[in-house]
Amino acid sequence: MPDSVLRVSILRCDATKFALLREMMLEAEADLRPGIEAMPGLLTFYAGADEATSSLINTSVWDTLEHARQLDTFQPMLDAGKRFVAEGARFERPIMHYTSLWRFGPHA
């Protein structure tokens, strides 16, 4: 599927806030998963944490850019973002949407 879209949202924070924000990300799954899984076009979704850079990501793969942009207006995601910012998170903006050029691996 070479024309899939990879959506990447990056959150950065001070090292002193990393553990708290990581825990918040783990807890956010319960609120976010049902609605995101129900969205048309979702192929896969990952949340990740990198303590070395004090950053967390949400990365998802979608069948079209239009479908990827559903997260722009998904209220539970917007509400979660506000809670993260209130605790010191800094989101990189704009959110990036990459058109896939190639892929490989067991799930390709």
Give CA–CA dist 71/60, Å, rounded.
10
Strands, DSSP E only, in 24-107?
42-50, 55-62, 90-91, 96-99
Sorting pLDDT into bands at 50, 70 and 90, what band is 67?
A: very high
Check pLDDT > 90 for residue 34.
yes
Output the CA torsion 8→80→64→107 (10° steps): 60
Q: Average of pLDDT values for 37-61?
A: 98
Give CA–CA dist 79/85, Å, rounded.
10
Predicted pLDDT at 2: 57
| Residues 71-105: tens digit of each pLDDT | 999 999 999 999 999 999 999 999 999 998 888 88
Question: 3 or 2: which carries more pLDDT confidence?
Answer: 3
Q: Which amino acid belongs to residue 85?
A: V
Predicted pLDDT at 107: 73
Predicted pLDDT at 108: 72
Strands, DSSP E only, in 27-95?
42-50, 55-62, 90-91
CATH of 5-99, one of 3.30.70.100, 3.40.640.10, 3.30.428.10, 3.40.190.10: 3.30.70.100
Predicted model pTM: 0.92
